[in-house]
Chains A and B, each alone.
Chain A
């Protein structure tokens, strides 16, 4: 890591690739530890999974090459996959944008408070995400007998005459999962927005006030949001990965398989094949389809976000 290594300005303009690499060797050195581990523990497993999706692999015998069979079966013959795909899309389209906006809204409001109050408020809103499996509390709330909090409450008020089996009734499953997910939504994105708001230059607000920004909404759109665009991008990616990969809450509250697959999502379907039926090839094919779905959504969302503040 010599000083000469990065003298970007003074170096003679040799445009050979090797020269560029040599010139930036300090950068590569800094990245080396992370990317070594990253390729080993993340990229390699992903590539292996994609390879497995073209195989029949039951985790006991060696993988057997089957070509596109898994994909053909998945897309053309698997009715439950279609149900889970529909559920996941519905789920993502509703919870994704709402969660994202909630994160932003609450981070922004909390930012108006004094620092001590702010840390406390952040904890309150982040509480569902920090308490481990906090969504298990919904199991208590939604218990189907009279001991469930919700049934107990509704019985006492007199709205219900007999307890409802919430998570065993098809029409309630998906709406309940959406509510629970929204309740859980102030997570990763929320905290990164909070941190992002801390780094917005306070001088910008002064300058904007002089330049004619009149109220908080204008300030938000013309000053705050453009200044924290990198965090908005980050939040969007995290939101996509969370909304599309929802499974834990569905399994915890509705079970897997859920009643008539009413709570089935792509990942619960994947888990069904991966850990119950031990068909890893098929599970990998599901993961690859899900991956493509997320990549596409991400492209779309990033394009939208580029227009913030314009």
Chain B
């Protein structure tokens, strides 16, 4: 941490703001930006493997040791979930408890398979319900929250500040007490016991709008101006210019929303068995006590595995966008 002292020493005023916006046509600006990007990319390639700044080795060591120690604790639930899923029943109840499996077996999964075939409605129905609820709740939210976030971040109109602060404040009101009024509203709308009762409220979560707005705020105004001059309308600007440039943001939001919807058992609104999601069906299996502990471990594994796969897909796309995201002004 030796570098900390240096920060205190007086810094020359950083001239990070780029040149003052000159009277350039969008085309010229585009060319300039491209040139600058090329230059940066060339520099980065040339220096590949060697850091741009002198980063102290001691600093590296401290940070990575810290990472290592914390990482072990963080990954613990994953390790336990995977190991428990392949443990035979006697190992699940062993003393002293072991984290790692000794005689891995797939009986838990075959037990689960047998149980699934005994379900009341065909198991594929639960899967279909989950897909509708999760994908519907996620895509819809990402799209309409982003649609609302773009004008809030970039345009000026009456009521802008008010609308935004209402969204931020809404996140601070305890969800537990609003549940009951929300239930009443859903009943009044007549969408109780339909997919809509889960999906429509999910579209209106405050967090997504806030997240998208914060990222869109960072986009340079010139980006939209040049599109406007070329005759693009607001929708086209939003869809073709803004959204591709905030890809890390909506991929992150998709992860949050997927998790949220995937974990939803829908038990509050869905009464018909043929509308209930996978999560509900799986929970019913695990509530069978000791004799179901094996199948329960397999269930825990499956419940965790799906969002993790989705997470990895999104995260690696977020990382890929990095090379193209250097366009800030």
Contact of B182 (CB < 8 Å), options: A33, A45, A241: A45
Q: Which residues of chain A have C-beta atoms less than 8 A from B15's C-beta?
A: 207, 211
**Interchain CB contact under 8 A, B215 and A230:** yes
Q: Which residues of chain B have C-beta atoms less than 8 A from A45's C-beta?
A: 178-182, 185
B62-90 interface (Cβ within 8 A of A)? 63-64, 67, 70-71, 73-78, 80-81
- B4 and chain A: residue at smallest CB distance: A217
Please, how many angstroms separate the alpha-carbon atoms of A119 and B320 in the complex? 10
B101 near A: Cβ within 8 Å?
no
B328 near A: Cβ within 8 Å?
yes
Q: Which residues of chain B have C-beta atoms less than 8 A from A34's C-beta?
A: 144-145, 147-148, 203-204, 209
Beyond A131-B81, A274-B176, whether A41 also contacts B6 by CB under 8 A is no
**Interchain CB contact under 8 A, A6 and B155:** yes
**Nearest Cβ in chain B — how far from A100, in angstroms?**
15
B228 near A: Cβ within 8 Å?
yes
- B77 and chain A: residue at smallest CB distance: A134
A86-127 interface (Cβ within 8 A of B)? 106, 109, 115-116, 118-119, 121-127
Interface size range of chain A in the complex: 35 or more
Please, how many angstroms separate the alpha-carbon atoms of A155 and B71 in the complex? 25
**Interchain CB contact under 8 A, B163 and A192:** no
**Interchain CB contact under 8 A, B11 and A215:** no
Contact of B327 (CB < 8 Å), options: A134, A201, A230: A201
**Interchain CB contact under 8 A, B172 and A230:** no
**Interchain CB contact under 8 A, B304 and A270:** no
**Interchain CB contact under 8 A, B182 and A41:** yes
Query: A216-231, CB under 8 A of B: which get 1 and which 0?
Result: 1111011100110011
Stretch at the interface among A64-72, A73-81, A283-291: A283-291
- B147 and chain A: residue at smallest CB distance: A30
B122 near A: Cβ within 8 Å?
no
Contact of A215 (CB < 8 Å), options: B6, B182, B231, B238: B6
Please, how many angstroms separate the alpha-carbon atoms of A124 and B75 in the complex? 5
Instruction: Choose among A33, A45, A140, A221 the residue with the greatest number of B CB atoms under 10 Å from its CB.
Output: A45
Please, how many angstroms separate the alpha-carbon atoms of A215 and B99 in the complex? 41
Please, how many angstroms separate the alpha-carbon atoms of A199 and B327 in the complex? 9
A294 near B: Cβ within 8 Å?
yes
**Nearest Cβ in chain B — how far from A2, in angstroms?**
7
**Interchain CB contact under 8 A, B53 and A216:** yes
Q: Which residues of chain B have C-beta atoms less than 8 A from A156's C-beta?
A: 96
**Interchain CB contact under 8 A, A27 and B157:** yes
Q: Which residues of chain B have C-beta atoms less than 8 A from A237's C-beta?
A: 168, 171-172, 210
**Interchain CB contact under 8 A, B43 and A206:** yes
B267-311 interface (Cβ within 8 A of A)? 300, 303-304, 307-308, 311
Q: Which residues of chain A have C-beta atoms less than 8 A from B203's C-beta?
A: 33-34, 37
Please, how many angstroms separate the alpha-carbon atoms of A268 and B191 in the complex? 30
Interface size range of chain B in the complex: 35 or more
Stretch at the interface among A18-26, A166-174, A256-264: A18-26
Q: Which residues of chain A have C-beta atoms less than 8 A from B166's C-beta?
A: 43
**Nearest Cβ in chain A — how far from B195, in angstroms?**
15
B21 near A: Cβ within 8 Å?
no
Q: Which residues of chain B have C-beta atoms less than 8 A from A194's C-beta?
A: 252, 315, 318
Please, how many angstroms separate the alpha-carbon atoms of A156 and B211 in the complex? 48
**Interchain CB contact under 8 A, A124 and B74:** yes
**Nearest Cβ in chain B — how far from A173, in angstroms?**
20
Contact of A131 (CB < 8 Å), options: B11, B40, B73, B304: B304
A195 near B: Cβ within 8 Å?
yes
**Interchain CB contact under 8 A, A6 and B147:** no
**Interchain CB contact under 8 A, B147 and A31:** yes
Q: Which residues of chain B have C-beta atoms less than 8 A from A280's C-beta?
A: 177, 180
**Nearest Cβ in chain B — how far from A157, in angstroms?**
11
Please, how many angstroms separate the alpha-carbon atoms of A6 and B44 in the complex? 40
**Nearest Cβ in chain A — how far from B161, in angstroms?**
13
**Nearest Cβ in chain A — how far from B245, in angstroms?**
8
Please, how many angstroms separate the alpha-carbon atoms of A126 and B74 in the complex? 8
Listed from nearest, the 6 A-B pairs whose CB atoms lie closest are A27-B151, A34-B148, A230-B214, A24-B157, A48-B181, A37-B204
Can you add 9 more A-B contacts, CB < 8 Å, to A46-B173, A237-B168, A275-B176?
A2-B233, A30-B234, A41-B185, A48-B184, A132-B263, A149-B97, A196-B248, A217-B4, A267-B174
Please list the residues of chain A having a beta carbon within 8 angstroms of any beta carbon in chain B: 1-3, 5-6, 8, 17, 20-21, 23-24, 26-31, 33-35, 37-38, 40-46, 48-49, 52, 59, 106, 109, 115-116, 118-119, 121-132, 134, 137, 140, 146-149, 152-153, 155-156, 183, 186, 188, 191-192, 194-196, 198-209, 211-219, 221-223, 226-227, 230-231, 233-234, 237-238, 240-241, 245, 267, 270-271, 274-275, 280, 283-284, 286-287, 290-291, 294-295, 298
Please list the residues of chain B having a beta carbon within 8 angstroms of any beta carbon in chain A: 3-4, 6-7, 11-12, 14-16, 36-37, 40, 43-44, 52-56, 59, 63-64, 67, 70-71, 73-78, 80-81, 93, 95-97, 99, 144-145, 147-148, 150-152, 155-158, 163, 166-174, 176-182, 184-186, 189, 200-201, 203-207, 209-211, 214-215, 217-218, 228, 231, 233-235, 238, 246, 248-249, 251-252, 255-256, 259, 263, 300, 303-304, 307-308, 311-312, 315-316, 318-322, 325-328
